[in-house]
Every structure is written in C-alpha cells, then in structure tokens.
Structure 1
C-alpha cells in the first residue's frame, strides 16, 4: 500500500468522479485508475462500483475512507514536523532568568514564541542570577539567559535593556518624603539584598555603589527574588538598591526614589553559548530581535 495510492483513493472517494479527482491531483486519469486497481489488488477488495454514468463507494471502500484520511493527515504532519525541525522551529530552549529586568521582557518573548514558533517549548528556569546563568551557559546546561554585562569568553550576547540603580525604602521611612536620595545618605541603614552566593549582578552593582561613596552596606536580610525583597522592604526591615524595572512590581508600602550623583547603570542582555548548534535556539534569537530590540545608545 503506497501513499500515492491512498491519495488517489481519497480523491476519487471525495469527488466520486475519476476525471475531477485526476484534475485535483494534477495527473492524467489513466494513471489514477491504475492506482485504484493496484490498491484494490493489494487489499483484495473492491473499493468502488463503477459504470459509465456514476462512481460510488462499496462498503469496503466506505470503511477505508476515514482511516486513509488519517494516514495521509499524519504523514503530512510528520513531514511538516521534520521540515520545521530542520528549520529550527521544533525543539526545547531552556531560559534562565532572575530579577525585575526579566519580568517585563520574558513575557513578551514567551508570548511571541507561543504565537510564532508553536513547535518550540521554552523551559523557564527562575532565580537563575547572572553569575549562575553564565556558568550554566558555558557548561551547556542552559541555552539562553537574561544576564548583566559583561559576559565571558565563548558567550555571545545582545543588550535588551539598560537599567538605572534606584532606591527602595519603606513608605514610612523619612527618606520616602524626599524626591531623590543620595547613596551616601543610606550609610547607617539596614539593607535587604539578593543572596551573596548566587551571582546576583544587582547585588554586586549595589555594593559597589555604596563602596564608591565610602561605606560598606549593613545587610541584615537576603531575599531570593525581587518580589520577596520588596515585600521585606515594605515590612520595614530595611532599604534596598534595585534596578528601575522593579518599579513595575506593584508592592504596597514601598517607595521608589531615584539616586543622585554618579549612579551605576546595568546593561541587561540575552546571552547564549557562541557555539551552541541548536536550530531552535537560533530561531528564538531571531524572533527576540523583533520583540526585544536593542535599546538606542
């Protein structure tokens, strides 16, 4: 039983006319009639009752029609899948992220992939800070990560956002009454920060901002992600230095204030291993250029 014989059978069964079925298949009628004879011989059944005026299915032909349609549909789906995989449109891409910078960008990317590349599954791995993400990308256990620059050898990247460092203080704190805050004014405050052992670029940048004005911050509590960190700030436990995207997290009892002076910025990038051969990854990267464009200088 050959696919072309089944295609010929389905065309004749649906048209109930050999001439129209042949035209539909873009072939001459005699070869189509030969397909049907070969299929009948292979199955040892008669599929059509034919005379000079009409064609109709036999009981055997009628019982074959739906299974034949399913076989052809599955064959077509298999072909589409193979072609899509060859073009990078089928597969799994692991994505590491952490912090407020990815909270806006990641949904835009995932929605675009779902819409434009439905054969690709994004496997999202949260609380993957920059240092950890870069290590895992280098090791090959992570395909793509939202990281802060700089990266390291063997890793390619493209900037998708530039963040300003800002302050987050309890709304009952006296500094919340100010329109802006100098980092030096936080010298005597208790700080809430991201974990020291996870490679958080936000923590490193915040620590450097404090050191630049002459003090080492007193960290009294760590939080695993931006939501938890801001919850702790809102509870009055301490203050924090966060990226400007954190303002998109609507948290009660937290006041965000810009910092004055020479405030560090952070370039947030998509990063991937330069020699990663995954066609699915490169399809996602091409789509990301549209939905997460590089910001202007």
Structure 2
C-alpha cells in the first residue's frame, strides 16, 4: 500500500465523486480510477460502490477511512517534529469560537500567533458553543476552543480561564429601562428573553438562567439563536431582551443598548479548552502564546 494510493482513496472517500477527487489531486480521472482499482486488488476488497450517478463507501471502505486519516495525521506530526528539532514551528491548529462573545479574546491570540509563528496556520471554526466545542475536542475535530466555564467534559479535556465578564442586559432602544444607568434583573421577570439553545450547552445561557433564578424568576425564553450577534440583532428588532456579557457593549447593533445589572455580578467565565491527549507540538506552541497574551485574570 502506497501513500499516493491512500491519498487517492481519501480524496474519493471525502468527495464521493471521482471527477472532484481528481481535480483536487490535480490528476486526470482515468489514472485516479486505476489507482483505486489497484488498491482494491491489493486489499482484496471493494472500497466503493460505483454507479453512473453516485459513489458510496462500502463497509470495507468506511472501515479503512479512519486509519487512512491517522496515517496522514502521523505524517504531519512527523513533519512538525523535524521542524521542532531545528527550532521552527510549522503546521495547523483548528480553533473553535462562538463569534461575538470572543471579539475581545480571539483577535489578541490570532495576532500574536501570526507575529511569533508565521508558518503556523490557524483554521478558525465559528459558531462553536461550549458543549459542542468540547465534543469536537474529544473527537479530535478541534485542537483548541474558546469555551465558558464550568465544563462537563472527560478528564482528558483541559481548560484555562482567560477572562471574566459580568453579565448585563441588552434592551431595545425604546424599552422603558433603556436609559437607566443600571437595571434590577428582577424588573425583567415578565420580559421575553432571547438566548442560546439549551441543547448546545452554552455557558452564556447557563450563566443567564443562574442569574435570573438568583433574582427570583426563571426566564421566559421565546427565541433560541446560536449566533450571539444575531441575539443582539433580534433584541434591536424588539423581539425580546437578552442577558449578555459586558464585552459586547462596544459592538451593540443600532436599535439596542447594553445596560449593566445592579447588585452582585454574575460572571461569564471565558476559557480555552484542549485535549491533553493531543500530541501536536504546534498546539503546545499556540498554548504558550495564549499564556503570554491572555494570562489568568485575577
């Protein structure tokens, strides 16, 4: 079994189309088909069900695919190791983040990594809320993710606090409390709330519900939105109000205002999460940069 055969197999398995796979590999379709047939003969199995309209993995092909991925992961780790010996840091780190909630924390990290390690690529994945981010780390789809604490995760998932932001309330600009310097959360007990989905395990939602219960009520949620900035947009549209961390006060859309909450603050704790089982030397380098630019807050 040759590396070029595995490259051909992975391309067809991911594209499920010989033409697209050939274009991806910059090959003609006929040599690609010949390479796949040769691999099937060597293995003694059929890897793809082919028809004039579709291509699908057979059970044998599906069994081979994760092992093929691991071969290329090991090759990449080998390349990283050889560069590390000479002091160079090279490779890709896949980073998940939620969006607007990370507008203060993501840019300092990406800028610092780009300055210090110009050969490191950060593959940024937006719309990743805490529970989904943790699952992707456990599965190996993400190397690093911006999350909220506390985490419900396996022991292999490590995290570090990088910022603490008190919750406030986003109100439509014509709300009766919109011009107040502070708002009692209890005064919002009869309001319609917009928040992130419960199923996503969002730290923002959990912190908001905790604050409302502390104020003597459970919020009436009328709309669930994954994107935090779209939550603010719906507030501006008059759909409801939203509890949000004060980090977004500078990016409120027109038609909405951010008002701090009166009394003891409820904090949204921002963190970075990663797997201790991830052997990537590039991830370790990025974490070291994060330690420098985002020290643990007091």
TM-score by length of 2: 0.68
Distance 1:186 1:85, change over 3 A: same
8 Å Cα contact 1:171/1:234 also seen in 2: yes
Superposition deviation, residue 100 in structure 1: 3.2
Indicate if the aligned counterparts of 2:133 and 2:142 stay in contact, CA closer than 8 A: yes
| 1:227 to 2:229 alignment | yes
C-alpha displacement at 1:188, in angstroms? 0.6
Per the alignment, residue 84 of structure 1 pairs with 83
CA distance in 2, matches of 1:133, 1:173: 35
2:109 matched residue in structure 1: 109
Counterpart residue number, 1:147:
147
Q: 4+ residue runs of structure 1 moved beyond 3 angstroms?
A: 80-83, 85-88
Q: Which residue of 2 aligns with 1:189?
A: 191
Match status 1:172 vs 2:174: yes
For 1:181 and 1:132, the matched residues in 2 are separated by 32
Do the aligned partners of residues 82 and 141 (structure 1) sit closer, same or farther apart at CA in structure 2, a change above 3 Å counting? closer
Q: Could you tell me how far apart the structure 1 residues matched to 2:116 and 2:208 are?
A: 38
* Secondary structure of residue in 2 paired with 1:204: helix
Write the distance in 1 (CA, Å) between the matches of 2:161 and 2:99.
16
TM-score (norm 1): 0.69
Q: Which residue of 2 aligns with 1:128?
A: 128
Candidates 139, 160, 163, aligned match of 1:161: 163
In structure 2, relative to structure 1, the CA distance for the partners of 1:241 and 1:261 (3 Å cut) is: same
Structure 1: segments with no counterpart, 5+ residues: 1-79
- Secondary structure in 2 matching 1:175: coil
Does the aligned pair in 1 maintain the 2:232–2:252 contact within 8 Å?
A: no
When the two structures are aligned, how many residues end up with a matched partner? 217
The question of whether the paired residues in 2 share the 8 Å contact of 1:190 and 1:239 is answered with yes
For the pair shown, the structure with the greater C-alpha radius of gyration is 1
Give the equivalent residue in structure 1 for 2:100. Answer: 100
Query: Which string of whole-angstrom CA distances, capped at 9 and with x for unpartnered residues, describes residues 199-253 of structure 1?
Result: 2110111112112222221111122212111111011111000011111214111
What SS does structure 1 have at the residue aligned with 2:198? Answer: coil
Tell me how far 1:109 sits from its aligned partner.
1.2
Aligned positions of 1:142-291 closer than 5 A: 142-151=142-151, 152=153, 153-291=155-293
Match of 1:119 in 2: 119
Q: Deviations over 1:62-94 (max 9, x none)?
A: xxxxxxxxxxxxxxxxxx987535457111111
Map Cα deviations across residues 21-51 of structure 1 (whole Å, 9 max, x no partner).
xxxxxxxxxxxxxxxxxxxxxxxxxxxxxxx
Give secondary structure in 2 for the equivalent of 1:255.
strand
State the SS of the aligned residue for 1:174. coil
CA change 1:262–1:117 in 2 (3 A) is same
The answer (yes or no) to whether the contact 1:192–1:221 under 8 Å persists in 2 is yes
Question: C-alpha distance in 1, partners of 2:296/2:145?
Answer: 16
Greater Cα shift, 278-287 or 110-119: 110-119
Report the equivalent of 2:138. Answer: 138
3-state SS, counterpart of residue 103 of structure 2:
helix
